[in-house]
Amino acid sequence: MNDPELSQLDWRLVPEESRPGPLQMALDETAAETAAEGGPCTVRVYRWEPSCLSLGYHQDPDTVDWEFCRREGIDVTRRQTGGGGIYHDNWGDISYSIAVPAESVPGDLLDCYHLLCEPVLSALSRMGVDAGFADEERPAIHQPACYLRELHPAHDVVVDGRKLSGNAQYRRHDAVIQHGSITFESLPGRHLETFQEPETSAATFRERTTDVASETDRQAGITRTAAVETLEETLAEWVDATTGSWTDAELERARERADGKYAAEPWIREREAPRA
């Protein structure tokens, strides 16, 4: 699977890296700057180290069980994108992002989502998972949790109506960033415990969601390593990306942005971004 138009751009694949959540969010924003300034576009896969709860842009911080997260060593950050909170388990979550100039993708939000989700759906198919966009509405179960909100046909990827992947976009520095979370192995109880007094149970969470490990069990399963490699290969083929890495300057900017924004209490608690 290859996109002939996007493949005309200069792309790099940054293979899976384990970094703290605030730095991962800062790297997404830094990749957007690079793409907008004429540098390479980026597709990447990443891992949250340590496990992290990422809040949606508008999310009320009172929905978080801060004491549980502190006690369990779970980072908390706030995304630039909307939606509910996601517990990104260091083992159970596989995340990706795409940074591309805004002028190179559709201006219509739904069309843009469907374009940038193509490699995600293709990778899941290669893993043996028959996934697609949600095609029917389902009511929210616990609004603060991304995986238990109303299903959205633009960006929620499901298997038989059960959510497997959430994807979100924002535009910054004349670039589009799409990032998403694919559940490799779900931990419903731990996921819910990051929220303050969730209005549901682990059993209900499991009924509403699914994961790659469960969906491939009957086909002798797939390891996490193999799933990551499949996603990386599919992203690279999609845009003819060359395996690359961050420049020293990008890493320096991202670390400054992580410290000043994504790891800072004013941003996490109050959504107050540092002044430029």
CATH no. for 6-270: 3.30.930.10
Average pLDDT in the 99-103 region?
97
Nearest Cα neighbor of 120 from 107, 111, 129 is 129
Average pLDDT in the 155-178 region?
92
Beta strand spans in the chain (E): 11-19, 41-48, 52-55, 75-78, 86-88, 93-101, 132-133, 156-159, 162-172, 175-183, 242-243
197 by Cβ neighbours in 10 Å (0-12 / 13-18 / 19+) ranks as: exposed
Per the listing, tokens 């799933």 go with 227
Average pLDDT in the 260-264 region?
98
pLDDT top residue among 136 and 110: 110
pLDDT in tens, 4-27: 899 999 999 999 999 999 999 999
Task: Give the chain's mean pLDDT.
Answer: 94
Beta strand spans in 131-230 (E): 132-133, 156-159, 162-172, 175-183
Average pLDDT in the 38-65 region?
97
Which of the four pLDDT bands, split at 50, 70 and 90, describes residue 34? Answer: very high
What letter would DSSP give residue 275? Answer: P
Q: Is the pLDDT of residue 268 over 70?
A: yes
Dihedral sign for Cα atoms in the order 159, 170, 86, 186: positive
pTM of the prediction?
0.95
Average pLDDT in the 222-251 region?
98
Average pLDDT in the 208-230 region?
89
Q: Is the pLDDT of residue 33 over 70?
A: yes
